[in-house]
Structure 1
């Protein structure tokens, strides 16, 4: 793998030189948009909305619509707002991972210590493993300040970007179900259904079936054939009563 960032993790007064590698990769197929008539690629143009003419790249500026007009920003404005460029992932405090709501998580990066920082890296890794804690830190990647969680995984320190609080939309606009009454027997069966489906989390049991099936279709069409794809048939409850639907769900699982 090719590293995407080089810098240090700041652990108190200890600097741990590390390389950062992308910890994720896409599982979706890379499809191109084509003209149906001759299968040539579609090229997108930057067009003036008013004149409908293409705009040269060097004539494009960025602006923010404020009240009734656009405020144009130049290179200097972006430089002024950008965080100070630093190659330090500065640990600010430590928390329990379970305290972080999953809605905050973005993407993960693997770290690898530079030769001169291997012992300090090992110390931080083992301290995180033993304490069960994760570090909260900030770092600059591609001129943008990022908030992240530093946590251990299978002998490697992982840096997982998380969203800032202001990036999470307020739930006040979502209609809630606080006025709905659930009976005791409905709750008992609901809990029993959860218990029946509960198992140890195993990520390998979940596959990107859509991409696999789509690739089968592509390969078959390339040979002039039509792939046979198994369609999932959702089970339907026989009635509208919630309690009866829950009971049928329990029975269906037992009979599987």
Structure 2
């Protein structure tokens, strides 16, 4: 793995030199965009809007538009904005991890201690494990400020969970939500029973990207010249009024049959 950030965690007066590595990778198939006429690859070029000519990477700069005039930014400008946060993620507070709503979660990263930081790294890891807390602070990653939540991934490694700013979460007040009316007691009882039947400990290894596998199977079939037909699926009737009790009963009975069969 390649580190995407080198710096340190500020833990009180203690600095823990660390490297940040992406903790995830995509399972999607790498599909190319092609011209339907001859299946040639579609290329994306960086083109000057006025001349129409392609621009080389070394000639590209970043700028901000103010009153019809671009202010060009150089590398030292980005570093000068918050020099301390480009190299240090200072923990400002500790919170219960469960108190942070998952709507704020963005990308996860693994933290690796550098040579002089192993002891302090282990100390922070075990302190967070024992207290059930997570450290919150801000830092600059890829030319933008980010909120980071440092938490134990397990008893061996710390994880940095990038968080969204509150202003990035949209307000739901414009949605057409159902009126605040309590459900019928019998329906609620059945819904709770169904939830209890389906309850288990979360195991991420149970879930796989089956769509990518099915799509790859189709690709291999087409490569052999076979014709692939999609199975017809019934579309949900959005306008139909459903008998909720009947659906809940059927769901419970179906679950019982599956449990008995297994």
TM tier, smaller: 0.7 to 0.9
1:175-217 C-alpha deviation (Å, 9 max, x unpaired):
2212445211011111111111111001111111111111122
Shift of 1:226: 5.3
Q: State how 1:166-181 maps to structure 2 within 5 Å.
A: 166-181=167-182
Structure 2 match to 1:74:
71
Q: Give me the TM-score of the superposition, normalised by structure 2.
A: 0.83
**Aligned 8 A contact 2:63 2:73 in 1:** no
1:64-101 C-alpha deviation (Å, 9 max, x unpaired):
6x9xxx64442249948944352101101011111111
Residues 1:54 and 2:55 aligned together: no
In 2 relative to 1, CA 92–234 (structure 1 residues): closer, same or farther, beyond 3 Å?
farther
Q: State how 1:151-166 maps to structure 2 within 5 Å.
A: 151-154=151-154, 155-166=156-167
Structure 1 match to 2:247:
245
In 2 relative to 1, CA 204–124 (structure 1 residues): closer, same or farther, beyond 3 Å?
same
Q: Give me the TM-score of the superposition, normalised by structure 1.
A: 0.85
Structure 2 match to 1:192:
193
Q: Which runs of 4+ in 1 moved over 4 A?
A: 45-49, 55-64, 226-229, 231-237
Residues 1:109 and 2:109 aligned together: yes
Shift of 1:240: 2.2
Matched residues in 1 for 2:115 and 2:46: separation?
A: 47
Matched residues in 1 for 2:232 and 2:213: separation?
A: 15
Query: Structure 1 stretches of 5 or more lacking a match?
Result: none
Query: What RMSD in Å do the two structures reach over aligned CA positions?
Result: 3.0
Instruction: State the SS of the aligned residue for 1:139.
Output: strand
Deviates more, 1:70-79 or 1:142-151: 70-79
Shift of 1:220: 2.7
